[in-house]
């Protein structure tokens, strides 16, 4: 009887936890640019006198919340809904923004993958290959494709007048890259991060983790470079994956969030890339 009561308590607690409302909030970070957060996920909202641009709906419930929030606060139409890349944990809920005045935008590769994989969201109508500039309220949002880095068709978002940069997934400030880098290209992450550091901005906003400045992004880059180099050099010395997990300590980055949980997984992800993409074990 006691076991049955404990089991019932566990099931009720789990169910109520699942029903708990996600923490959602929207905060202005600079001159009409807002970070809209849903739990650990962040979207970007650009509000102007000529309409609004939204980057990433995240999911259907978040999109519904965000649409109501924008309508109650600003009384401006959403002119652009933009996908940062193809992954469903950032791109679902696009169909909530069903106003015919809203143009859906993404890189060509992201749009193609959404079609091929039959992602249930509103598909992009405006697609680009290298760079696209959107104008609203006399200001500019520049979208740029830097090559593969995370998923398909992931781009940077640069607001030159406000000196803000928004990137999803392939740069995280103050936190480790996600687990064993599923769907990531670490070569591309390093190259893309080096490229955006050459751009003119001083506030970084990410799809996850913290906001920061160029020094914070440089440190994220330093981590990626150290991770890659140490795993590569260890593999060239003939070390196994288990040996690498022991020897590649990366202690100078131990302050990053999730370091203890994800360090070994990060090493595993780079090992897999070097084995499968670079064929380093076949040399």
Asked if pLDDT for residue 3 goes beyond 70, the answer is: no
Q: Please, which pLDDT band fits residue 21 given cuts at 50, 70 and 90?
A: confident
Domain that holds residue 136: 22-282
4 inside domain: no
Domain of residue 70, CATH code: 3.60.15.10
6 inside domain: no
Provide the domain count of the chain: 1
pLDDT in tens, 147-199: 999 999 999 999 999 999 999 999 999 999 999 999 999 999 999 999 999 99
Asked if pLDDT for residue 18 goes beyond 50, the answer is: no
119 inside domain: yes
153 inside domain: yes
> Which has the closest alpha carbon to 191: 148, 223, 234, 229?
148
217 inside domain: yes
pLDDT in tens, 58-69: 999 999 999 999
Separation between Cα atoms, residue 69 and residue 206, nearest integer Å: 21
2 inside domain: no
Inter-residue contact 158 to 111 (CB < 8 Å): no
Q: Please, which pLDDT band fits residue 7 given cuts at 50, 70 and 90?
A: very low
Cα 145 to the chain's mean position, in Å? 14
243 inside domain: yes
pLDDT in tens, 201-243: 999 999 999 999 999 999 999 999 999 999 999 999 999 999 9
241 inside domain: yes
Inter-residue contact 158 to 197 (CB < 8 Å): no
DSSP classification of residue 178:
P
């Amino acid at each position: 009887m006691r076991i049955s009561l404990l089991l019932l308590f566990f099931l009720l607690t789990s169910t109520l936890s699942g029903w708990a409302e996600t923490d959602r909030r929207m905060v202005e970070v600079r001159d009409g640019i807002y970070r809209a957060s849903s739990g650990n996920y962040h979207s970007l909202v650009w509000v102007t006198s000529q309409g609004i641009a939204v980057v990433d709906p995240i999911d259907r419930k978040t999109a519904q919340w965000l649409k109501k929030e924008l309508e109650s606060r600003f009384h401006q139409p959403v002119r652009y809904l933009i996908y940062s890349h193809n992954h469903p944990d950032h791109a679902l809920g696009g169909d909530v923004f069903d106003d015919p005045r809203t143009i859906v935008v993404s890189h060509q590769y992201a749009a193609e993958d959404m079609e091929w994989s039959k992602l249930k969201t509103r598909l992009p109508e405006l697609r680009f290959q290298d760079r696209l500039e959107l104008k609203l309220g006399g200001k500019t949002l520049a979208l740029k494709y830097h090559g593969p880095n995370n998923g398909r068709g992931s781009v940077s978002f640069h607001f030159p007048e406000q000196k803000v940069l928004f990137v999803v997934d392939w740069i995280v400030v103050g936190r480790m890259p996600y687990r064993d880098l599923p769907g990531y290209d670490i070569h591309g992450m390093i190259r893309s991060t080096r490229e955006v550091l050459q751009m003119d901005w001083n506030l970084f906003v990410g799809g996850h983790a913290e906001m920061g400045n160029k020094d914070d992004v440089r440190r994220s880059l330093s981590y990626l470079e150290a991770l890659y180099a140490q795993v590569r050099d260890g593999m060239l010395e003939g070390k196994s994956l288990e040996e690498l997990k022991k020897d590649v300590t990366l202690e100078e980055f131990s302050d990053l969030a999730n370091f203890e949980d994800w360090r070994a997984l990060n090493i595993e992800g780079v090992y897999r890339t070097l084995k499968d993409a670079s064929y380093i074990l076949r040399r």
